[in-house]
Amino acid sequence: MAEVEETLKRIQTHKGVIGTMVVNAEGIPIRTTLDNSTTVQYAGLLHQLTMKARSTVRDIDPQNDLTFLRIRSKKHEIMVAPDKEYLLIVIQNPCE
């Protein structure tokens, strides 16, 4: 458990990381470094997108599954590690 905390902390303090969130399957944040409304918004939107992405991957080959999702935008990059029970979301600004 301590190791998990340490890793989370390290991730949060990495260069360019804007925010780190762990939300459970209902969108309730478990750990977050951003404010609640932003977290909930991210969680809701990314949840749907992850569902869609996973559905796409599995439609092509049902034995496959989604492991990681990265969305690169102009301003930053959103990285999502999805699971059945939670979503791990990290937003990073890779330019600096």
Which of 35/62 has CB closer to other proteins? Answer: 62
Residue 28 makes contact with other proteins by CB under 8 A: yes
- What character string, x for contact with other proteins (CB under 8 A) and - otherwise, covers 59-88? xx-xx---xx-x-x-x--x-x-x-xxxx-x
Residue 9 makes contact with other proteins by CB under 8 A: no
Question: At which residue do the structure tokens 């944040």 appear?
Answer: 29
Residue 51 makes contact with other proteins by CB under 8 A: yes
Min dist. Cβ of residue 35 to other proteins (A): 19
Residue 22 makes contact with other proteins by CB under 8 A: yes
Q: How far apart are CA 55 and CA 66, in angstroms?
A: 9
Residue 49 makes contact with other proteins by CB under 8 A: no
Question: Residue 85 in 3-state DSSP?
Answer: coil
Residue-by-residue DSSP string for 2-56: HHHHHHHHHHHTSTTEEEEEEEETTS-EEEESS-HHHHHHHHHHHHHHHHHHHHH
